[in-house]
Amino acid sequence: MTKKIMMKGNEAIAEAAIRAGCRLYFGYPITPQSEIAEYMARRLPEVGGTFLQTESEVATVNMVYGAACTGRRVMTSTSSPGFSLMQEGISYIAGAELPCVFVNVVRGGPGLGDIQPAQGDYFQATKGGGHGDYRVIVLGPSTVQEAVDLMGLAFDLADKYRNPVLVLADGLIGQMMEPVELPEMRDLSNLPDHSSWALVGAKGRKPHKVTSFNIDPHELEKMNKRYQAKYREIEKNEKRWENYRVEDLEYLLVGYGTSGRILKSVADMARGDGIKVGVFRPITLWPYPYEALAEVAEKARFVLTVEMSSGQMVEDVKLALEGRVPVYFYGRMAGVVPTPEEIYRHFVKLLEEG
Amino acid sequence: MEKAIFNPPKSLSKREFTYCPGCHHGIVHRLIAEVIDELGIREKTVIIAPVGCSVFAYEFFELDGTVAPHGRALAVATGMKRARPDLVVFTYQGDGDLAAIGTAETIHAANRGEKLTTIFINNAVYGMTGGQMAPTTLIGQKTTTTPYGRNHEKDGYPIHISEILSTMNGVAYLERVTVDTPQNVRSAKKAIKKAFLAQIKGLGFGLVEVLSACPTNWGMNPVEAMTWLREHMAKEFPPKLFVDKVGDG
């Protein structure tokens, strides 16, 4: 058993990636996640890896594309405006079915916004931020420890499905220090074998071609059908969530990431006052755990969704419940993190309005 | 007994080219394939194709290959080479791809001295989209988006990528060539070989700019296009050896 150490979220994310077998990092500095790049710049040379500071996020995502073509584990990290710049490349990566990992430490927006924790990138992250019919697996950590655990999962899922995976954190997860237990270093010789498609030179075999391209619409539709079949498979296998104090619930709070974590304190406060409140916290934001949410929400008199945005994930909550349970929303925007007390006050107000 | 006196290079695939009559892509593809054969690197070479008329280039070579987003070939190539420094990685890019939308990626890959090779086809026009102005379109040249001729007041001047890159320490080989005569074809092949050697020897970034005819979008027959290339394009973009750190050894 490794012992717990105090680490800043961004640095823990970087170390977790290295321990998951990532030896390639390309990135452009942007607050509040630049510590990931700085950590990688220092640490990767120690383990025989490669760090490159790029000229832009546009270049970054394409370097990730090129590195992923070789089948080696590769990642980048950025924050909201930088993630917007990467969308074109992520569409190409999804179409070319390349395994790689992105981390978006979300900040306030839109536009230049600010550098405080926010959740306004949910639509962009989960609904396809770039062009075309594609999906990115999206994981939403609520603690530094969970961010560490999800980094390993992210690389495994990327390899398993040959698909980009996004860890959608926020400025709080990135900047906060918490005790974490790091996993052991993965044995690089034991990582998934991509030799059946990777671009590593056509030695003694037919050339491999990796593209998201086909000029014949019928052939391109076949490729699209293959992507969609894979997405259905991911939906079947990979949904993850956390239920908190839901056994006897009368009211349900729903939130992901940092808001999901805050909601646990809200539920504890309510239960202190004798109100039976539970929390549903989706961990995979795509595929979204609609069925699991419906199962716990259907026992509730109403559902309150809380986000650090104007209300984006709440649309998925409504999709899950299809009008069977009233769904309310409370949000703070632009980098303001709601306190448990203010959320509880809002909840009590809803109760009183009945 | 029949004896083969002329064979296609092993590094070219059997796919038929999709290029127009009089286009120079075919000549340049062949030269690249001959160089790869002669250097014995086919089994460790990867092509990064662009978006443009040569978007299918990855299919025309008997090599592992991919096609990059428009303008991003050198970023894709950088990622690949950094992941696998043992590979030989080259990009094949047109003027719109390399010198308009991809200018930043081009300049920074060159400036980092990436151990990569780029073949830059400059034909002063956008081919695949149907003859629009390129960053290298000449002053006065008519295209579908400069129907009155390129006007520097409005459209700026033809961009000289090789001259820009020639100032960068990361560049190990840089030459502008033409393929309009048999002699120039031979010289172009030597340049391409050196641009690959710059990579293989780990010296830095190698780029060959090839002035290339586009009869279809210039509205000329192939002979007229070759004449126009010599009399106009080669005046604006003089063939020249800019950087050679490879030497003759």
Alpha-carbon span B113 to A329, nearest angstrom: 53
Query: Residue B80 and residue A70: Cβ atoms within 8 Å?
Result: yes
- Mean pLDDT, chain A, integer: 97
Please give the domain boundaries of chain A with CATH numbers for all domains. 5-237 (3.40.50.970), 243-353 (3.40.50.920)
Residue A89 has pLDDT above 60, yes or no: yes
Interface probe for B, chosen from A23, A63, A72, A93 (most Cβ of B below 10 Å), is A63
Strands (E), chain A: 5-8, 24-27, 50-53, 74-78, 100-106, 137-139, 164-170, 177-180, 209-210, 241-244, 251-254, 277-282, 284-286, 302-307, 327-331
Note the pLDDT tens digit of each residue in A125-160. Answer: 999 899 999 999 999 999 999 999 999 999 999 999
Considering only CB atoms, B76 lies closest to which of A65, A203, A209, namely A65
**CA angle, residues B158, B162, B167, in degrees to nearest 5:** 120
Terminal CA-CA length for chain A: 50
- To the nearest whole Å, the CA of B107 is away from the closest chain A CA by 10
**10 Å Cβ neighbour count for A221?**
11
List pLDDT tens digits, range A198-221: 999 999 999 999 999 999 999 999
Rounded CA separation B79/B69 (Å): 14
CA separation for the pair B76, B69 (Å, rounded): 9
Whole-angstrom Cα distance, residue B77 to residue B68? 9
Give the C-alpha separation, A23 to A39, whole Å: 13
- Residue B10: its chain A contacts at CB < 8 A? none
Rounded Cα distance, B35 and A340, in Å: 68
* Dihedral over alpha carbons A292, A296, A298, A304 (to 10 degrees): -100
- Is A207 close to B80, i.e. CB distance below 8 A? no
- Chain B neighbors of A203, CB-CB under 8 A: 43-44
Contact B84 A88 (CB under 8 A): no
Amino acid at B232: H
Contact B108, B135 (CB under 8 A): no
Q: pLDDT category, B249, cuts 50, 70, 90?
A: low
| Whole-angstrom distance, CA of residue A209 vs CA of residue A187 | 28
Chain B residues in contact with A24 (beta carbon < 8 A): 79, 82-83
Residue A128 has what pLDDT? 82
Q: Note the pLDDT of residue B5.
A: 87
Q: B141: Cβ–Cβ under 8 A, 6 or more apart, which residues? A: B124, B125, B149, B150, B232
| pLDDT range class, residue B42, cuts 50, 70, 90 | very high
Q: How far apart are CA A173 and CA A133, in angstroms?
A: 30
B199, burial (CB in 10 Å: exposed 0-12, middle 13-18, buried 19+): buried
A89 to B84: CB separation less than 8 angstroms, yes or no: no
B47 near B119, Cβ under 8 Å?
Answer: no
> A55 and B82: CB-CB below 8 Å?
no
Give me the percent of chain A exceeding a pLDDT of 70: 99
B91, two tokens: 């990009």
Task: Determine the pLDDT at residue A79.
Answer: 98
Q: Which residue of A has its CA nearest to B83?
A: A67
**How many angstroms away from the CA of B77 is the closest CA of chain A?**
6
Sign of CA dihedral A228, A233, A236, A237: negative
Are B66 and A203 a contacting pair at CB < 8 A?
no
Average pLDDT of span B82-86? 98
pTM for the structure as a whole: 0.97
> In B, residues 1-60, which contact A (CB 8 Å cutoff)?
13, 42-46, 48, 55, 58-59
Paired strand residues for A177: A8
User: A with B: how many residue pairs have Cβ under 8 Å apart?
Assistant: 124
The answer to whether the Cβ–Cβ distance between B66 and A69 falls below 8 Å is yes
Q: Which residue of A54, A69, A96 is in closest CB contact with B80?
A: A69
Mean pLDDT over each residue of chain B, to the nearest integer: 97
pLDDT at B6: 85
- Whether residues B62 and A63 touch (CB distance < 8 A) is answered with no
Specify the pLDDT at position A1: 53
Distance from CA of B124 to the nearest CA of A (A): 25
Residue B3 reports pLDDT greater than 90: no
Task: Report, as an integer, the average pLDDT of B118-128.
Answer: 96
Average pLDDT, stretch B152-164? Answer: 98
Best of B66, B87, B93, B108 to disrupt the A interface (most A CBs within 10 Å) is B66
A69 touches chain B (CB under 8 A): yes
Nearest to A167 by CA among A73, A122, A121, A103: A103
- pLDDT (0 to 100) of residue B4: 86
* Predicted ipTM of the assembly: 0.96
Question: Residue A354's pLDDT is what?
Answer: 72
For residue B116, count other CB atoms closer than 10 A to its CB.
Answer: 26
SS3 A88: helix
Give the nearest partner residue to B69 out of A62, A201, A207, using CB atoms. A62
Q: Which residues of A touch B63 (CB under 8 A)?
A: 202, 207
Q: What's the pLDDT at A2? A: 67
Instruction: Give the contacts of A32 (CB within 8 A, at least 6 positions apart).
Output: A10, A79, A105, A107, A115, A116, A117, A171, A174, A175
Name which of A55, A65, A201 is nearest B45 (Cβ-Cβ): A201
Q: What is the DSSP secondary structure assignment for residue A162, as one 8-state letter?
A: T
Angstrom CA distances, B215 to A23, B98, B124, B196, B238, stand at: 47, 21, 11, 29, 20
Count of CB atoms situated within 10 Å of the CB of B169: 11
Residues 6+ apart with CB under 8 A from A98: A65, A68, A69, A162, A164, A210
Distance between B23 CA and the closest CA of chain A, angstroms: 21
Q: Quote the minimal CA–CA distance from B113 to chain A in Å.
A: 13
pLDDT tens-digit readout, A227-284: 999 999 999 999 999 999 999 999 999 999 999 999 999 999 999 999 999 999 999 9
B81 interface with A at CB cutoff 8 Å:
yes
Q: Quick check: B90 pLDDT over 70?
A: yes
Residues A339-351 have a mean pLDDT of: 97
Q: Which residue in B has a C-alpha nearest to residue A88's C-alpha?
A: B69
φ and ψ at residue A130, rounded to 5 degrees: -110, -165
Phi-psi region of A295 (alpha: psi -120 to 50; beta: other; left: phi over 0): alpha
Under an 8 A CB cutoff, do A208 and B42 touch? no
- Complete domains list, chain B, with CATH: 25-244 (3.40.50.970)
Whole-number Å distance between alpha carbons of A221 and A88: 20
* Structure token pair of residue A197: 């498609």
* Whether the predicted pLDDT of B131 surpasses 60: yes
